[in-house]
Amino acid sequence: MTSVTADLQQLVERDRDHECPGYGPEHLCVRIVGVADLPTRFGEFSIVAFWNNRDSKEHVAIIRGDVRGQENVPCRVHSECLTGDALGSLRCDCRDQLEAALRRVGELPLGIVLYMRQEGRGIGLINKIRAYALQDRGLDTVEANLALGFRDDERDYAIAAHMIDSLGAKSIQLMTNNPRKVDQLREYGVTVSGRVPHILPSNPHNLFYLQTKANRSGHFIDFAGKPHLPEQSDWVRVEGMPERIPEEE
């Protein structure tokens, strides 16, 4: 066991009898219940397992270094995607985003990747496959979710916010293109000190999916090279592409 993982074991003892008012309207509370080493192809990590008081879903944090008391910790909040993460589906960019986050954090002294059991933007695996069937008939991802009686995105980040707090990070640099994720975490008390664009190249199977993310869900993905507006906090970059050259005055 690495020294960092050994130190993080203290969190298990600290949380053994943890109870709190909880986060969000459902008063969600989590406890750290296990910590272990996690050597991966992307680097050496510690993995932290969480119990929560709402359901039996088992969320985990993959951590690089000891993030307790640290500021501006790079953090990716990744929602589970069996078809993408495990089966290599090209219908989405989930596996690419997960691997890019692990690779990036694995190169840093400190970082967090939360793996949230929120399959299909919170609608579950069965309903996600039903949504796929509707998409095969021409609906986009938003239309398919609405046709099944769901909102376009059913995810809630109260548990993620409590996980970040339990890990002791004072503030995070959130790796995301999703403005709702930033807003929700801040609403739940997480200090998001900045946003790091997290865009991967598209393929013919997921281009329409990514365009829907940008056009219907407001994700910060620029396919058309639109001018950079002054009110935008940062320029969207694509993984593996050179930095944008500033325009001449």
What HEC string does 46-72 produce?
EEEEEEECCCCCCEEEEEECCCCCCCC
pLDDT band of 56, cuts 50, 70, 90: confident
- Please give the residue range of the domain that contains residue 144: 124-154
Could you tell me if residue 229 is inside a domain? no
Which one has a higher pLDDT value, 248 or 128? 128
Residue pointed to by tokens 């993460």: 85
46 and 136 housed in the same domain: no
**CA triplet 44, 95, 78: central angle to 5 degrees?**
70
Is 231's pLDDT higher than 50? Answer: no
**Per the residue annotation, which of 93, 96, 140, 153 is the catalytic one?**
153
17 and 65 housed in the same domain: yes
**Per the residue annotation, which of 31, 76, 95, 155 is the catalytic one?**
155
For the stretch 78-91, pLDDT in tens is: 999 999 999 999 99
Q: Is 155 a catalytic residue?
A: yes
How many whole angstroms separate alpha carbon 211 and alpha carbon 207? 6
113 and 128 housed in the same domain: no
How many domains in the chain? 2
12 and 88 housed in the same domain: yes
User: Which pair of structure tokens corresponds to residue 152?
Assistant: 């376009």
87 and 168 housed in the same domain: yes
Q: Is 153 a catalytic residue?
A: yes
Could you tell me if residue 237 is inside a domain? no
Could you tell me if residue 236 is inside a domain? no
69 and 138 housed in the same domain: no
For the stretch 187-221, pLDDT in tens is: 999 999 999 988 888 888 878 777 877 776 777 77
pLDDT band of 95, cuts 50, 70, 90: very high
